Amino acid sequence: MDAPEPDNTPFAAVSAQTSKLGRMYQSYLDKSTPYTTYRWISTAVLLALFFVRIIVAQGWYIVCYSLGIYLLNLFLAFLQPKIDPSLTQDEGLEDGDAGSSLPTKKDEEFRPFIRRLPEFKFWHSATRAIAISFFCTWFGIFNVPVFWPVLVVYFLILFSLTMRRQIQHMIKYRYVPFSFGKAKYNQRSGH
Position 83 scores a pLDDT of 77
Position 96 scores a pLDDT of 46
Q: Closest Cα to residue 118, out of 73, 67, 81?
A: 81
Q: pLDDT per residue over 36-78, tens digit each?
A: 999 999 999 999 999 999 999 998 999 999 999 999 999 988 8
Is there a contact between 43 and 126 (Cβ–Cβ < 8 Å)?
yes
Q: pLDDT per residue over 94-152, tens digit each?
A: 444 444 555 556 666 666 677 788 899 999 999 999 999 999 999 999 999 888 889 88
> pLDDT higher for 86 or 22?
22
Amino acid letter at 26?
Q
> pLDDT higher for 4 or 150?
150
State the Cα angle at 168 between 167 and 174, rounded to 5°. Answer: 85
Rounded Cα distance between 152 and 133, Å, is 17
Rounded Cα distance between 75 and 62, Å, is 20
> pLDDT higher for 190 or 80?
80
Number of H helices, E strands in the chain: 6, 0
**DSSP string covering 30-98:** HHHTT-HHHHHHHHHHHHHHHHHHHHHHT--HHHHHHHHHHHHHHHHHHHSBSS-HHHHHHHHHHHS--
User: With bands split at pLDDT 50, 70 and 90, how would you rate the model's confidence at 14?
Assistant: confident
Position 98 scores a pLDDT of 47
179 pLDDT more than 80: no
Does the global pTM surpass 0.85? no
Rounded Cα distance between 176 and 19, Å, is 40
